[in-house]
Amino acid sequence: MGPSAFDAHCLVYDPTASSRYEVFSIPCFHRRCSACYSSPEPGTADSRRAGCDEPLNELSEWPPLVWALDVYSSSTGRWEERTFHRQGEAAGTIAGMRFDLSGHKCKSVYWRGALYVHYKTCFIMRMSLSDGKYQVIKTPPVVRVNRFPHFSLGASQKGVYLAQVTQPRWLQVWVLDESSDRMEWALKHEKNLNLVLPRQTHYRRWILQDVTGKDKIRQHKERGDEESPEWSSDDDTIDLRRVVQVPHHGYRGNIDVLGFHPHKEIVFLCDALQTGLAYHINTSKIDNLGKLHLAGSYDEVLSNKRFSGAFFPYTPCWLSW
C-alpha cells in the first residue's frame, strides 16, 4: 500500500551485520489528521492508513491490538504489509495521542533484532522482528521539566538508552532493563551540567569543516600540520600541550541531546545548536568538539543553525560485501 504523508519512517539497519535494511512506516496522529475520523468503516482507506481493520474513533485504544504496518525491504525493493500483535496494555487513546502538543517526532533505534520506536513523547514501542510481537514501554517519570519532556532515544554500550536535559541544565540518562517481562527504565546517571561546563573550555574541531570556507571567526591555526584534529572517544585524558585554548565566556544557550556513542557510555550534546560536546557518563568529563555549523555564514541557505532538524551518530564499520 505504501506509507502516507503522516507516517514516521524508522530504519532497521545494522551495518556491522549486513548491507540489507528495512524501513518501517509508523502512523502518527496530529491534532487534525485524516488517518482517523469520528468512525470510519472497517477496511476503508482512513482506518487502513492507521493500520487497523476495525472502526476507529477518538476513544479507541492506541496503539491497536493488531497493527498492520507498511515495511520496505531492500531485498525485494518494494513495500509490503507486516502485521504485529501487541503484548500487554495500550499506551492510551487516539485522543490522548493528539493531545501531545510538544511537536516531538517519532524516533527509533535498532538493537539486537528489535526496533524501538519513541512515539512522540507518549511512549516507546519494542517491536520484535522475529515473532511479530510488540510491547508498549512507558517513558520514565520526570520531575525537572518546564513544560514537555523531551527524551532522546539511542543505543549504546549496555543496550537502549534515554536521555534528556531539563532546566536548569540537568542531565538524566536511563537504561532499559529487559531482564523481566515487564521492561522498565533504570536511572543510570544524572548531573547538573552547570557544575562541569564552566571548567571545560578546551576546543576541538569537527572532522567536516565549514563547507564555504568564508567563516574566519575563531579559526585558530596554531595547530601543526601533523597534529590530528579529530576527537577520539578512547582519549580519557586531555593533553593541554596539544589542545588549542579558545577564549570562552561560558555556555549560555540551551543544552540539547544529539545522540549516543554506539560502543561507549558517552552522550553527545550541543550548546544552542552551535557547539558539540561529548559527555562521559562514568567520569562526568566533557570534551568540547567544536562548532556545528557546516556553512560559513548564518545568512546562507545551508546554515545549520537555521535549518538543522535531526542528528544521527555515525557507526563506522569495515566490512566488504
Instruction: Flag whether 95 is in a domain.
Output: yes
Q: Are residues 126 and 217 in the same domain?
A: no
User: What is d(CA 176, CA 184) in angstroms, rounded to the nearest whole number?
Assistant: 6
Instruction: Flag whether 161 is in a domain.
Output: no
Instruction: Flag whether 27 is in a domain.
Output: yes
Range with the largest mean pLDDT of 6-20, 211-225, 274-288: 274-288
Q: Give me the pLDDT at residue 85, please.
A: 97
Q: Are residues 219 and 97 in the same domain?
A: no
Q: How many domains does the chain have?
A: 2
Three cell numbers at 76? Answer: 525485494
Q: Are residues 310 and 195 in the same domain?
A: yes
Reported confidence tier of residue 273, pLDDT bands at 50, 70, 90 = confident
Q: Are residues 204 and 116 in the same domain?
A: no
Of the listed ranges 11-15, 16-20, 243-247, 310-314, the one predicted with least confidence: 243-247
Q: Are residues 215 and 99 in the same domain?
A: no
Q: Are residues 87 and 11 in the same domain?
A: yes
Where does a domain end: 97, 114, 135? 135
Instruction: Please state, rounded to an integer, the average pLDDT across all residues of the chain.
Output: 73
Q: Which is higher by pLDDT, 247 or 145? A: 145
Instruction: Flag whether 7 is in a domain.
Output: yes
Q: Residue 224 above 50 pLDDT?
A: no
Q: Are residues 101 and 213 in the same domain?
A: no
Look at the alpha carbons of 188, 194, 199, 204 in this order and tell me if their dihedral is positive or negative.
positive
Per-residue pLDDT tens digits for 112-134: 999 999 987 678 999 999 999 99
Reported confidence tier of residue 53, pLDDT bands at 50, 70, 90 = low
Instruction: Flag whether 180 is in a domain.
Output: no
Q: Are residues 207 and 295 in the same domain?
A: yes
Q: Give me the pLDDT at residue 124, please.
A: 94
User: What is d(CA 166, CA 173) in angstroms, rounded to the nearest whole number?
Assistant: 11
Where does a domain end: 94, 116, 135? 135
Q: Are residues 197 and 314 in the same domain?
A: yes
Q: Give me the pLDDT at residue 291, please.
A: 77
Instruction: Flag whether 319 is in a domain.
Output: yes
Per-residue pLDDT tens digits for 67-111: 999 999 999 999 999 999 999 999 888 877 766 555 556 789 999
Q: Give me the pLDDT at residue 7, please.
A: 77
**Domain containing residue 310:** 191-321
Q: Are residues 222 and 127 in the same domain?
A: no
User: What is d(CA 107, CA 242) in angstroms, rounded to the nearest whole number?
Assistant: 38
Where does a domain end: 106, 135, 164? 135
Q: Give me the pLDDT at residue 320, please.
A: 52
Instruction: Flag whether 51 is in a domain.
Output: yes
Per-residue pLDDT tens digits for 299-315: 444 444 444 556 666 66
Instruction: Flag whether 186 is in a domain.
Output: no
